[in-house]
Amino acid sequence: MTVSNNHLRKSPMSRTFRAVAATAAGALSLTLAACGGGAEASTDAPAAPVTVQIGPEAIAIASRTVLSTGPILSGSLVAERTAQIRAEVPGSVVQVFHDPGARVAEGTSLAKIDDRAINDAFLSAKSGLTAAQNGADIAARELARAEKLAAAGAIAEREVENARRGDLTARTMLDDAKARLAAAQKQLDATNVLAPYAGIVSERMANPGDIVAPGSPLFTVVDPATMRLEAAVPAEQLSQVRVGAAVRFSVTGYPGRTFEGRVSSVNPSADPQTRQVRLFVRIPNAGNQLVAGLFAEGRVASDSRETLTVPELAIDMRGLAPVVLRLKNGQTEKVEVTLGVRDEQMERYEITAGISAGDTLLVGPALGISPNTPLKVTTPSDSKPKQ
């Protein structure tokens, strides 16, 4: 991955660190003024070097950390299975059995719609089926009798054909009656609104007494067992993404915790305006800890290794080559470094040459201190008044 010496990205972590470092810089200026204000100028001998004091917030330690590279993703979590249940028959809502937040099993009754008119239609269709069945039985017996008589030469072939047509008509009417009864049964069943699968009722849009029509929304049921993160990556980073790749991310509301999912699918076409490609990350949700609608941010773990890294704010990129200001033997020294890859999420750079793990580096405005300046890092106990 190519590393460019662009200006550091402004992120909430960067702004917080700069604010702290700016406070340290102000304290540093006051320390210099206090040390120089009471000294009288001397023309006989050079003034002794002034020791600059800074707080611990103005330094960082170079350390070996796990550095990850890969496209950064962000988006909202959605349940992989979400069903908006709508009314299939018209009528008045008689009862509502569950409120939002209720856990339901597959086939659980959620609400009941008035079924009196539909039940009358069902009974009529059932009677029609009985009549059609009787007519079909009579026609079948008449056909069998006519065929026997025709075989004995007792009746003409024309009467056998009439019996066959009557049997066909009766069987057709029977099939129509069965279809009518099945449709009536389906409508009657639809008056009892059921959960399509096990999940949690997230919304309830109906109340007892509401008049609903076919298509009216009644409930929303989500299955929290599996979540999905919908995100997008720039087209130039698509080569680092593959189906099945691990994705590590953090979720708003769960500080300090890291979750993991896998890329389940990648959209085959890029957005013509943003030139980004949408992808979907499937996230197992053991214990139903994650909730739909939360914001998630992470990265596709295309590469991960342990290496020497420093915070972005410890690197001065104003010159021809990146440098750091290291504190060694009580003095500052400027050291050129070679940068490797950059972890945008952690806001750290890999250092491939120039310093070692454990080196103390200045960060933020403290980088403005001149090289070879005596420096002391104060602690909270230093500021306490002596007894």
Indicate left, alpha or beta for 73 from its phi (over 0: left) and psi (-120 to 50: alpha): beta
Structure tokens at 225: 């067992």
Closest CA to 249 of 223, 282, 288: 282
Structure tokens at 189: 């069943």
Q: How many residues can be counted in the chain? A: 387
| pLDDT attached to residue 123 | 95
Band the pLDDT of 67: cuts 50, 70, 90.
confident
Residue-wise pLDDT for 152-210, tens only, equals 888 888 999 999 999 999 999 999 999 999 999 999 999 999 999 999 999 999 999 99
Residue-wise pLDDT for 226-283, tens only, equals 888 888 888 888 888 888 888 888 888 888 788 888 888 888 888 888 888 888 888 8
| pLDDT attached to residue 46 | 57
Q: Which CATH class is domain 12-70+305-383?
A: mainly beta
Tell me the torsion sign for CA atoms 230, 233, 238, 241: negative
Instruction: Round to whole Å and give the CA distance between 60 and 358.
Output: 9
Residue-wise pLDDT for 44-55, tens only, equals 555 667 888 888
Pick the CATH number of 115-190 from 1.10.287, 1.25.40, 2.20.25, 3.40.50: 1.10.287
Identify the bridge partners of residue 212 per DSSP, sorted by sequence position. Answer: 91
Closest CA to 348 of 316, 322, 311: 311
- The residue extents of the domains of the chain are 12-70+305-383, 115-190
Instruction: Round to whole Å and give the CA distance between 374 and 378.
Output: 13
Cβ-contact 111, 87 below 8 angstroms: no
Tell me the torsion sign for CA atoms 144, 147, 152, 153: positive
Instruction: Round to whole Å and give the CA distance between 78 and 75.
Output: 9
Instruction: Round to whole Å and give the CA distance between 102 and 266.
Output: 34
